[in-house]
Chain A
Amino acid sequence: MIPTHYYLFLGTALFTIGVIGVLTRRNVIVILMSIELILNAVNINLVAFSRYFQAVDGQVFAIFVITDAAAEAAVGLGLIIALFRNKETVNADEIDLLKW
């Protein structure tokens, strides 16, 4: 039996890698993939607590998180296609029209 906090440590490490990816990469597609990493870290925590409480509610929440990830990926990738058509770039720091 693996203690619950091992899973929390794994979730923390995966979450941090995702945050580093979002903050440091310039490619928008890789930033979206880092968001998927963050959502997976959340899912690990949810399922770990689902086993800890001996209830399936955490797994149901994880399914909703996956649903959100699918919706977010569809809209985000549509945005990337529209962006590439207009600006010919996938670098996040070149999209600075609203920046002062």
Chain B
Amino acid sequence: MLPQIAFFFLSAVTLISAVMVITRRNAVHSIIWLIVTLFSVGGVFLTLHAEFLFAVQVILYVGGIMVLFLFVVMLVNLDVSLKQAQFSRQWLVALVTALVLMAELAYGIYRGHTGFALAEGSAAPAAGGNTQAVGLALYQDYVLAVEIASLLLLVAMVGAVIMAKRKIE
């Protein structure tokens, strides 16, 4: 019973704060609500027994990426855009289209959900814990992908520096 309560509570917090993210006028408020969303998504990871990913979510997303967002909001002057319209002119069409998309996806999942019911119930934790299992998979099976990801981060870092430089000689 307790996992169900936790899941529905975290889902409600996730969705409500996600709606707050895209409706707030002030970008700083949006960032604070996004932090709430990311924390509750981390809680959803906990209900799925992905403890290492919860730690990664909190440290990397909330501690890293969100601080980056806050820095940029402080660097960019948002006073002008606060007084302007926050939604584009075609917002109604976009809203209807996105809701139709959600209805299609949800209908597809609902029609196919009996297919997901076979292997559940045997959530035996991996020997040595979740972190050890993820670490072994990262550095044995996916070691090339880890190297490529590190190269991607290097390229992104160089790109961000070039982008934010005042003048390119």
Contacts and interface: CB of A to CB of B under 8 A. Distances in A.
A24 B138 CA distance: 38
Interface of B: 3-4, 7, 11, 14-15, 18-19, 21-22, 27, 30-31, 34, 37-38, 41, 44-45, 47-50, 52-53, 56-57, 60-61, 64-65, 68-69, 71-73, 75-78, 80-81, 84-91, 94-95, 97-99, 101-102, 105-106, 109-110, 112-113, 116-117, 119-124, 126, 130, 133-134, 137-138, 141-142, 145, 149, 152-153, 155-157, 159-164, 166
Is chain B's interface secondary structure helix, strand, loop, or mixed overall? Answer: helix
Shortest Cβ-Cβ A-B pairs, 9 listed: A78-B163, A21-B22, A71-B156, A23-B94, A5-B113, A16-B102, A78-B160, A24-B91, A74-B160
Query: Chain A binding site: helix, strand, loop or mixed by DSSP?
Result: helix
A92 B89 CA distance: 12
Contacts of A68: 149, 152
Contact of A43 (B41, B47, B149): B41
28 contacts: A1-B123, A3-B116, A3-B117, A8-B116, A9-B109, A14-B14, A16-B98, A17-B21, A17-B22, A27-B78, A29-B76, A29-B78, A36-B38, A43-B41, A44-B41, A44-B45, A51-B50, A57-B137, A60-B137, A68-B152, A73-B65, A75-B163, A78-B163, A80-B72, A88-B80, A89-B80, A90-B76, A90-B81
